[in-house]
Structure 1
Amino acid sequence: MDLEETKSGDAFETNAENKNMKLICCPLCEEVIFSREVANLVSQQFSLPEISKENTGNIHKMIEFDTAWQVTDQFNFENIGFLNKTGDVQYLICANCDYGPLGYTENSKTFMISCTRTKQLKEDEIPKNSKLPEELSLFLENAMAQQSSS
């Protein structure tokens, strides 16, 4: 699956307080990054390394962005991974599939996630068991079947 970043002109649904109205998800595995009404939509210039298929740890070409989902508490995330710091910047990736970088933090107080490197979904659009590995899902299904048959 070849992922392209969402075009900057795409609509990002927010409420009257400028918070996300839909779930903010990883575009690759659709794991939830933010629940509804958690992140603020902000207009701010920033750059992130280009997403590379090979995870060599090297910084690639930087891409400019102008819109982000912003939170001020790392516990607002449902799912996020932190890469090692590069100078003062720490890049953020999907903790489920390592896709990214999706955003960054410079001071661990403000976290910016690129709107165009994420996907907005409604609750009913999230795949069932998206958080469970296949082996665990099968184990739970078998355990529930055994319990109901006894």
Structure 2
Amino acid sequence: MSEFENTDKTGDSQSELIEDGCNKLVVKCKYCGSKILDKKLGKFIMQEKELPLMQQDTRKEGEIQNEKVDQFYHVENMFTFENIGFTHTVDCYKYLSCADCDAGPVGYYDMNTKHSYVALSRIEHA
């Protein structure tokens, strides 16, 4: 079984989402439906990264909860995005959020490489 035949956390088959190593469908915010990335502009990669949870447990005041994410769309130029916001810098990274509803982080921007990474588990495809 190839890496593209696996299913992601939303139950979609990778073969339905990935074509020629890139996103086959438009990438949208899973909360407001705003377009984040057009078709075939993000290269699918597997790499492990810890990202803060999109919804933090408010009972754990002052503590940031994280999760490991391992499937991303790699975007070399930040001007490729349709609607994306960038946070302030945290340890050489900026987190990405939906520019319309501020949901996030949907991924991260690496200050060293100047490349962005959108987590497949945190977006929708349309």
1:98 lines up with 2:102 in the alignment? yes
The SS at the match of 1:84 is: coil
Of 10, 13, 26, the match for 1:11: 13
Alignment length (residue pairs): 113
Paired residue for 1:111?
Answer: 116
- The question of whether the paired residues in 1 share the 8 Å contact of 2:29 and 2:36 is answered with yes
**1:31-46 paired onto structure 2 within 5 Å:** 31-46=34-49
Q: Which protein shows a greater Rg?
A: 1
Paired residue for 2:79?
Answer: 75
Alpha-carbon distance change, 53 to 14 in structure 1, aligned in 2, over 3 angstroms:
same
**What is the CA–CA distance in structure 2 between the aligned matches of 1:8 and 1:45, rounded to whole Å?**
18
TM-score, normalization by structure 2: 0.81
- The question of whether the paired residues in 1 share the 8 Å contact of 2:25 and 2:39 is answered with yes
- The question of whether the paired residues in 1 share the 8 Å contact of 2:52 and 2:64 is answered with yes
* CA root-mean-square deviation: 2.1
**Structure 2 stretches lacking a partner, 5+ long:** 1-7
1:22 lines up with 2:47 in the alignment? no
**What is the CA–CA distance in structure 2 between the aligned matches of 1:54 and 1:62, rounded to whole Å?**
11
**What is the CA–CA distance in structure 2 between the aligned matches of 1:59 and 1:91, rounded to whole Å?**
17
Match for 1:98: what amino acid?
D
Paired residue for 1:60?
Answer: 64
1:86 lines up with 2:110 in the alignment? no
Structure 1 position 51, deviation (Å): 1.4
Which aligned runs of 4 or more in structure 1 are off by greater than 2 angstroms? Answer: 8-12, 52-55
